[in-house]
Amino acid sequence: MSAPTVYDVAERSGVSIATVSRVYRTPGSVRDRTRERVLEAARELGYVPSGNARGLASRTTGVLGLCFPDYADPDAEADAEADSDADDAAMLYSDQIIRGMERAARRHGYALLIAASLEGGPESLVAKVAGRVDGFAVLAQTVPTEDLEVISRRLPVVMLAGPREIDHLDHVVVANADGERELARHLIEDHGLRRLAFVGGDPESPDAEARFRGFRQACGDAGLPVPEAPDLRTAMMTRAEGARAAETLLDRGSERPAAMLFANDQMAVGALRALERRGVRVPEDIAVTGFDGIPLSRIVRPSLTTVRQPIRQLGEQAVELLVQRLADANRPPVSLELPVSPAHRASCGCG
């Protein structure tokens, strides 16, 4: 029987994988009741978090690492706490990357070490991971490019999402621009919608910016005005921010949009709830779309039109590239773009 993993603990305790990680890294940042539930699940399963004793006597650790900002959405975790069966539905982007990496790492006989925190800056993430692993994957914009340059001289590094900042590193991305372009084209051509509002994220978010580029391309292809910037940007792409964005768009003096396109599903779900509170019908009054294809997008009402990206496959491919690089350090760098697929559902008038 294989050793229990962080995913097993998350599943047993009904919280996200990132929450389990925080219980062990920064226990004071997790509510007492949640922390005790996680620790009890860990005791029942016999789970022990990875230490750094392995590898002190040899050059290999048998561990792969993942660095990413902690994208925890308080609304999602509150839902999971209220309903122990809600964890899969509340699973976020980062959770699914972890799940994909963990499965692939296990197949190759590796453990997975996760560093997910916004506290202490990206330098602390590098310090936590680089000395304890044989190679690691880094989500875009998590670690400064100059630090990655130094680390990649002695460890395999795979970049996840975003542009390929360092030419000699392996890189995996999804077709963000293509997916958003096709989604906007569907609203324009198949539903006849012309007044489209795009809600983006931080300009430093490469995925959100790529999706906005796809939106602009669809507008240009249809002969619509091509916006220079999103109608709104949010600092954190959470449900609460999505709800606020929907309220702001409704309250603007100009004509209401016929559709609100959000840069991720979490914001779109928040918008659906805000529109319902305001008595705005979706899709009869306003269509709403997201991006990512998280499980929650299927079960909200109305079900969310979105673009499914292969998030778990993103994590799996990162592990495959690390394993291949460990076997052959001199092979040419690889850059993969994984395809996405639209999911036309009720929130745009389909299904």
Count of structural domains, the chain: 3
Give the N- to C-terminal CA distance of the chain in Å, as an integer: 43
pLDDT at 123: 52
Per the listing, tokens 């559902």 go with 345
Question: Is 97 found in the same domain as 201?
Answer: no
Mean pLDDT in runs of 10 for the chain (351 residues)?
76 88 78 90 77 46 83 52 41 81 93 71 59 86 78 87 84 96 98 98 90 98 97 93 97 90 96 97 98 92 97 95 93 95 97 74
Question: Is 42 found in the same domain as 11?
Answer: yes
Portion of the chain with pLDDT greater than 90, in percent: 54
Question: Is 141 found in the same domain as 77?
Answer: yes
Question: Is 300 found in the same domain as 316?
Answer: no
pLDDT at 56: 38
Give the CA count within 13 Å in the CB-facing half-sphere of 189: 12
Average pLDDT, the chain: 85
Question: Is 203 found in the same domain as 116?
Answer: no
Question: Is 270 found in the same domain as 183?
Answer: yes
pLDDT at 70: 60
Question: Is 315 found in the same domain as 170?
Answer: yes
Dist CA 175 CA 195 (whole Å): 25
Question: Is 136 found in the same domain as 118?
Answer: yes
pLDDT tens-digit readout, 268-289:
999 999 999 999 999 999 999 9
pLDDT at 155: 86
pLDDT tens-digit readout, 316-343:
999 999 999 999 989 999 999 999 999 9
Q: Residue 44 sits in a domain of what CATH number?
A: 1.10.260.40
Question: Is 70 found in the same domain as 147?
Answer: yes
What secondary structure does DSSP assign to 8-45, as a single string?
HHHHHHTS-HHHHHHHHH-GGGS-HHHHHHHHHHHHHH
Dist CA 155 CA 105 (whole Å): 17
Phi, psi dihedral angles at 333 (to 5 degrees): -65, 150
Question: Is 320 found in the same domain as 305?
Answer: no
Dist CA 227 CA 113 (whole Å): 42
Question: Is 271 found in the same domain as 188?
Answer: yes
Question: Is 142 found in the same domain as 256?
Answer: no
pLDDT at 273: 96
- Supply the range of the domain harboring residue 328: 58-174+311-339
Q: Residue 258 sits in a domain of what CATH number?
A: 3.40.50.2300
Nearest to 172 by CA among 66, 327, 38: 66
pLDDT at 83: 42
